[in-house]
Copies of this chain bind each other. A is one copy, B any other.
């Protein structure tokens, strides 16, 4: 086990900067490319991350800390960001994600500092069963990383045919 709250927060705090560094100002060719029908582009990933800040991570952490295993988490709709909304630029979405994340991290720190709150506290996930606060926060971190990885993989695959014979040397293009 490697989880440390302060180190987990370091990653959570950096994700908006990482995504802004990677995506801000990019051409539509990159932002809108995906891996085929039913797959997500970078814009969709940011909308999904925004949904997670609003409806997943902190709300579930609160349930664990305040309600324990007395009530199962509401299901988080992982595809709700695909519903039509007001059209906004990627920059506006990146800024919204950064703002929401900043508030989430402040709330995370506040919740854990509250007297009597332990990272070993447990709640009930609708599919996974019993889960702890530290597992939820670890998952939040790796969920950020999985989506950074996804964007990078989608971009890489866009150039799969363009790299010519070097395809054999590029780990990110290896098919599982």
* Residues of A that sit less than 8 Å from B by CB: 1-4, 6-7, 10-11, 14, 17-23, 25-27, 29-30, 33, 125, 128-129, 131-132, 134-135, 138-139, 141-143, 145-146, 148-150, 152-153, 155-156, 158-159, 161-166, 169-174, 176
Contact = CB atoms under 8 A, between A and B. Distances in A.
Contacts of A6: 27
A17 to B, nearest CB: 3
B153 A149 contact: yes
Contacts of A26: 10-11, 14
Contacts of A19: 21
A127 to B, nearest CB: 8
What does DSSP make chain A's interface, helix, strand, loop or mixed? Answer: helix
Number of copies: 2
A89 to B, nearest CB: 16
B173 A142 contact: yes
Nearest to A174: B176
Nearest to A159: B138
Contacts of A159: 2-3, 138, 141-142
A11 B155 contact: yes
Contact of A149 (B143, B149, B169): B149
Contact of A164 (B21, B131, B141, B172): B131
Nearest to A21: B17
A79 to B, nearest CB: 14
Contacts of A10: 25-27, 30
A135 B149 contact: no
